[in-house]
């Protein structure tokens, strides 16, 4: 009888240890943005854009360029050019396996994403990767306006550890307003500058 209770208790503890908290809500983040000055940071393309129009990659490149001039940003066009010269690396920049970041807290990435980051880092000299997982529109309660949100991850390329993971929200506006997308990505750039 006591053995059964012990086994049940042990199973519950094991299940609790495996459980992961849900991803953060807007304004919440986990981890810390490391000092990026003097580092080479690969900026991956935005993987998912939901409900907002515009060129998310261009908006992010602009926002990062105006915030942190002393960081060597390797932007998506440069990543694409590098991969064109090395097709054997087989990295699909626009279809990275990032769904797990929208479902649970991730402390360290595994393959195939880790392998892709290692190969890209070796190709570009990048030791950090900024991975915008999703940009989405969240309507306000009145449904007449809303905000753009960006879910993003900052990865240590060599170890696969997640240094920072969070959701940044921009200024409120209508879904058709291009400033909604721009302000969400500017919020992410501001976070990288802290």
Tokens 């990865």, residue?
Answer: 155
11 within some domain: no
7 within some domain: no
Q: What pLDDT is recorded for position 19?
A: 40
For the whole model, what pTM was predicted? 0.84
Q: Which residues, 6+ apart, have CB-to-CB distance to 91 below 8 Å?
A: 83, 116, 119, 120
56 within some domain: yes
Question: Number of folded domains in the chain?
Answer: 1
Q: What pLDDT is recorded for position 9?
A: 39
38: domain CATH number is 3.40.50.10610
75 within some domain: yes
13 within some domain: no
pLDDT in tens, the chain (194 residues): 444 444 333 333 333 333 455 556 677 789 999 999 999 999 999 999 998 888 999 999 999 987 666 899 999 999 999 999 888 888 999 999 999 898 888 999 999 999 999 999 999 999 999 999 999 998 887 767 889 999 999 999 999 999 999 999 999 998 888 899 999 999 999 999 87
Tokens 């609790």, residue?
Answer: 16
127 within some domain: yes
> Is the Cβ–Cβ distance between 91 and 42 less than 8 Å?
no
> Is the Cβ–Cβ distance between 163 and 32 less than 8 Å?
yes
Q: What pLDDT is recorded for position 14?
A: 36
8 within some domain: no
What is the DSSP secondary structure assignment for residue 47, as one 8-state letter? Answer: S
10 within some domain: no
Domain that holds residue 79: 22-193
């Amino acid at each position: 009888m006591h053995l059964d209770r012990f086994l049940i208790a042990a199973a519950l503890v094991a299940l609790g240890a495996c459980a992961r908290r849900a991803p953060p809500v807007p304004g919440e983040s986990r981890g810390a943005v490391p000092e990026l000055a003097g580092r080479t940071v690969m900026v991956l393309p935005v993987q998912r854009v939901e409900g907002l129009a515009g060129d998310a990659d261009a908006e992010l490149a602009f926002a990062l360029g105006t915030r942190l001039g002393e960081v060597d940003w390797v932007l998506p066009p440069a990543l694409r050019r590098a991969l064109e010269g090395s097709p054997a690396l087989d990295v699909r920049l626009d279809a990275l396996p990032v769904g797990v970041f929208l479902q649970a807290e991730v402390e360290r990435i595994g393959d195939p994403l880790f392998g892709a980051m290692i190969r890209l880092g070796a190709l570009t000299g990048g030791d950090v990767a900024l991975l915008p997982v999703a940009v989405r529109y969240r309507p306000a309660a009145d449904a007449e306006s809303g905000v753009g949100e960006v879910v993003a991850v900052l990865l240590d390329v060599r170890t696969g550890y997640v240094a920072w993971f969070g959701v940044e929200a921009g200024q409120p506006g209508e879904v058709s307003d291009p400033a909604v997308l721009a302000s969400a990505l500017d919020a992410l750039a501001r976070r990288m500058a802290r």
